[in-house]
A and B are shown apart, each in its own frame.
Chain A
């Protein structure tokens, strides 16, 4: 019997289900979900701690999503092995599930480096899943001193979520800058200063050398007392299912623009995959929710016999921390690499643009982010900026900077 199988039950899986059903309404879909929840919004875990959302609001789709889409979800089991010859997936309970087309959307796992004495730390957590979050929530009280290792997106979102629920938060990171994956020297210090004003303590260019119970000895020689430890150093794509059968894997599972892996009838999407990144013109792991959905959707359409390509993925982030907002996208091409960099700073606002060969390649907005999607559009569609009033557009992203003809097309017809 023909059957689609999806390993994973996150955003890429949801996208895949919706992609399959664009083309094929009948063939059953089996979803293998390691977590015991229907697809939920992982990026909301910090908002949950913060009280900005509630568990019942965190579902990604409505209650009838799986039933409406003819999906059978196997909860609490994981895929152990794929047999590409037999077209079966071996589950952790020993059962074999046959597939016609398979999506691997196995996500990523927190990377926890080794620290001497880590075994003496009683309360230690990662911050990625709902279960991580619920365990962390149980471990904190209003006097807790929390140490977060990692000043990236996950670490700082965790800090924001915990801020009003604990006594003290200290964040350390080997990098010089906070959010080093999305900010640069012009923008990171402003964000760090804002977080410091909100009571977060930072140890940058520093990390833990060793633990002794509730004391962290830092590489700088300083000591940090804490009750609760969160490690948010980074994540690693879950690639073992594909590398285990000789499929092509770099940092992530390598896919083409149709989201197909090197193994016939097997696709991959989301955090475990490494697909084409338009901003650097090569494959890269882009572990971001929008790309997970779009990659999963593309895979679904193709698995069902349609024809779709996902060839304009770029890194992009929109995220707020304690009332300061950050929007970034693309590739920050420096002047030394032939780029032209435009930077405008005002008291509450930084706007930075990276241009090369008449195209916008990347941007960083801190503060006012309204209309930022127009910049993202310029990057993804490679719009020649000489056709625009780019000077005007940098301050005020709207279609006044475009030609009348483009406006007529965009706002006078169905898009």
Chain B
């Protein structure tokens, strides 16, 4: 299965991935309308300082702890991907409590929010990777 991998030596810390993620998941056609002046809720986050940066999103683990810890049955595995049924999530954040990568975040409505590799939105493959100017994140089989 293709997953997102990080090449931190190439990451500029530009945060474009965060904007592309928020746009791809907004369901809107115009990026400016979707994001301008709004608080964004990306599913990928760039960490680091002025020298080292790296972008973290869901690792789509082969044996995901978040799915085991989910109290509502919202998190599940779909063809190898870890997906979330937002209508079932109640925002207890047990997933955040067990994710060893700090990958999950909280979405606009207060329920948990996570990367689903853009396979269920109009983008069709990870928008963060498509928009990365320096191949600091890649989408491939490893």
B23 → chain A closest CB, angstroms: 22
In the complex, A316 has a CB within 8 A of chain B:
yes
B69 → chain A closest CB, angstroms: 4
Residues of A within 8 A of B73 (CB): 41, 59-61
Residues of B within 8 A of A369 (CB): 93, 96-97
Residues of A within 8 A of B62 (CB): 414-415
Q: With contacts A316-B97, A377-B100, A415-B62 known, is A290 near B68, CB below 8 A?
A: yes
In the complex, A251 has a CB within 8 A of chain B:
no
A220 → chain B closest CB, angstroms: 34
Residue pair A412, B92 in contact (C-beta under 8 Å): no
Q: In the complex the two chains form, what is the Cα distance from A202 to B53 in whole Å?
A: 48
How many residue pairs between the two chains, A and B, have CB atoms under 8 Å in the bound complex?
125
Q: With contacts A370-B105, A412-B5, A415-B61 known, is A318 near B96, CB below 8 A?
A: yes
Residue pair A398, B3 in contact (C-beta under 8 Å): no
Counting contact residues on chain A (CB < 8 A from B), the size range is: 35 or more
In the complex, A66 has a CB within 8 A of chain B:
no
Q: In the complex the two chains form, what is the Cα distance from A294 to B64 in whole Å?
A: 11
Residues of B within 8 A of A399 (CB): 47, 54, 56, 101-102
Residues of A within 8 A of B6 (CB): 407, 411-412
Residues of A within 8 A of B88 (CB): 53, 57
Residues 84-123 of chain B: 1 if any A CB is under 8 Å from the residue's CB, otherwise 0? 0001101111111111111011100000000000000000
In the complex, A111 has a CB within 8 A of chain B:
no
Cβ-neighbour of B98 out of A325, A376, A414 (below 8 A):
A376
Q: In the complex the two chains form, what is the Cα distance from A134 to B124 in whole Å?
A: 43
Q: In the complex the two chains form, what is the Cα distance from A391 to B95 in whole Å?
A: 24
Task: Give the nearest-CB partner of A397 in chain B.
Answer: B102
Residues of B within 8 A of A371 (CB): 96, 102
Q: In the complex the two chains form, what is the Cα distance from A156 to B61 in whole Å?
A: 34
Across the A-B interface, the 6 shortest Cβ-Cβ residue pairs: A377-B100, A290-B69, A373-B99, A411-B6, A371-B102, A318-B97
List 6 A-B residue pairs with CB atoms under 8 Å apart, sorted by A's residue number: A318-B94, A372-B93, A398-B45, A400-B47, A400-B54, A404-B8
